[in-house]
Structure 1
């Protein structure tokens, strides 16, 4: 988040930020089979397949690949052409990735006696395994990695905390946020956040984003990011908040301002920038359109849908 001088900084209550994300992830997240294993070979296969392929398509190919070559021993002994043919048949992107995966399996067998190395540095010695993939395997297989920084993570850090579009800054912020020794759950959680709640078109409220109260983008309505060069027309707009008012009143009936406000914005504060005056403006607009009735009386203002 940005400080008073416009510079980015992580929030002081970092432990609360961490706990909110992990709790959100553990309560409900997309189920992928490679999230249910700590086998480094199975995780490496998923990481290599995911580099150019949507996750929904990777799952079938991942199962089929491991059915055919369930261990590095099996893959190392396979014919190179057979592995490349599988890759091509399943439209998994550049065929050289299949070649490198085959060579990496041979390295594990010949150089590591069939046992995967468990640090990002050692994993980077495997053919075709770059820093990102090495760190991902170390994190998800051995809980022994640094913070993973992919496009989704950059987008989250940029929007939530105002981290500048700079690789070194993203890496530093990601590692400062990650709880020590918890790379497996943390990296899964923050990537899930970027994939489910904070995509190019964010879905903050519907996905129950756990970082809304800390998020610069959510508070300002500016959801630009390194891979989102222009702000979406709807997200964060007045039109979006008008829609939230209508849904809340439809669901709950008549509500006082301070009951309605928190249902519209997680950062609603009665006397704040997004408080009673801001909310009353939305309600007045909706009243002018004949959608909402606003009544003042007995020390409070209440709103209801127009009958």
Structure 2
């Protein structure tokens, strides 16, 4: 199935792809209290809190916040210093997010008669609510959002659909919107974010997490699990890391060595004036010196290397 306006090919059995993910999510997923509510205020509090905090750590703060200010009316009437103080006490990141949340509650009460806007565009009118948060609240509260695209979703899309990483600016939002079934934004967005968080992690857990997309996934087929936030790991053999390690081990054994004594001991093709000679080795030693691991000194016209004293 090819979209003429995009540069990827969706699976022909797209219905099966969708059903596999939804069944996987509904069968077993992490339980968070905000997944059991469609109250837009409660969901907004969660989204703002989780911008810089792991979800597992958000639970206690979220529950405490809503116990203290259970409605937008009560939050709007609160002293802003108390709201900021709560935020600080729970290590929830930048305090301006607490200020924006307090102001957004006031907007709901004064500008929207106590009712939240139901569309992403309307939600963006609230202080501190950007496109991502607006779409998330619209999805999880009103089942009326587009696909939510966070880092986890980008990683899933990049790995699953090989064509997307052939573009200079991968169109994650368009692909994610194509994947999402109509009228299912609440469950779908929860499901695909869960997939990225527990199965398609930076270090993938395809089989352990019983990933439902293995039969369609390009990364699973090829073994190439690079992604926007997972750069290709350079080979260790012959790498700078390998030679740095050899320098440390050799100097640990010999104490101190001149460049021409050290060089042949860390690579067999070392020659004093060759491509892998004194200049190359000095550059390597400079790096180690900057890291506080090696020091060099001049003695009798020679450069001597030894471990940092």
Bin of the TM-score, shorter chain as denominator length: 0.7 to 0.9
Q: Distance in 1 between matches of 2:74 and 2:48?
A: 18
Q: Does 1:109 align with 2:109?
A: yes
Trace 1:80-159 onto structure 2 (pairs within 5 A): 80-159=80-159
Q: Distance in 2 between matches of 1:11 and 1:230?
A: 26
Q: Give the match for residue 183 of structure 2.
A: 181
Do 1:223 and 1:232's aligned partners in 2 also have CA atoms closer than 8 Å? no
Q: Distance in 1 between matches of 2:147 and 2:112?
A: 25
Q: Give the match for residue 290 of structure 1.
A: none
Trace 1:200-215 onto structure 2 (pairs within 5 A): 200-215=202-217
Q: Distance in 1 between matches of 2:23 and 2:152?
A: 19
Q: Distance in 1 between matches of 2:33 and 2:169?
A: 30
Do 1:193 and 1:209's aligned partners in 2 also have CA atoms closer than 8 Å? yes
Trace 1:153-302 onto structure 2 (pairs within 5 A): 153-162=153-162, 163-164=164-165, 169-231=171-233
- Runs ≥4 in structure 1, deviation > 4 angstroms? 165-168
Q: Distance in 1 between matches of 2:234 and 2:211?
A: 18
Q: Does 1:27 align with 2:32?
A: no
Q: Give the match for residue 75 of structure 1.
A: 75
SS, match of residue 104 in structure 1: helix
Q: Distance in 1 between matches of 2:104 and 2:169?
A: 28
1:188-236 alpha-carbon deviations (Å, 9 max, x no partner): 0000000000010000001000000000000000100000002599xxx
Q: Distance in 2 between matches of 1:223 and 1:124?
A: 35
Q: Which runs of 5+ in 2 are unaligned?
A: 236-309
Do 1:97 and 1:128's aligned partners in 2 also have CA atoms closer than 8 Å? yes
Deviates more, 1:138-147 or 1:158-167: 158-167
Q: Give the match for residue 243 of structure 1.
A: none
Q: Distance in 1 between matches of 2:96 and 2:224?
A: 40
Do 1:43 and 1:141's aligned partners in 2 also have CA atoms closer than 8 Å? yes
TM-superposed deviation, 1:12: 1.1
SS, match of residue 98 in structure 1: helix
Q: Distance in 2 between matches of 1:85 and 1:136?
A: 26
SS, match of residue 155 in structure 1: helix
Flag the 1:73–1:166 CA change in 2: closer, same or farther, 3 A: farther
Count of aligned positions: 229
Flag the 1:189–1:195 CA change in 2: closer, same or farther, 3 A: same
Q: Give the match for residue 277 of structure 1.
A: none
Larger of the two Rg values belongs to structure = 2
Q: Give the match for residue 49 of structure 1.
A: 49
SS, match of residue 212 in structure 1: coil
TM-superposed deviation, 1:56: 1.1
TM-superposed deviation, 1:10: 1.1
Q: Give the match for residue 15 of structure 1.
A: 15
Q: Distance in 1 between matches of 2:147 and 2:222?
A: 27
Q: Distance in 1 between matches of 2:170 and 2:72?
A: 34
1:39-91 alpha-carbon deviations (Å, 9 max, x no partner): 00000000000000011110000000000000000000000100001000100
Q: Distance in 1 between matches of 2:89 and 2:147?
A: 34
Q: Distance in 1 between matches of 2:78 and 2:156?
A: 41
Do 1:80 and 1:99's aligned partners in 2 also have CA atoms closer than 8 Å? yes
TM-superposed deviation, 1:9: 1.5
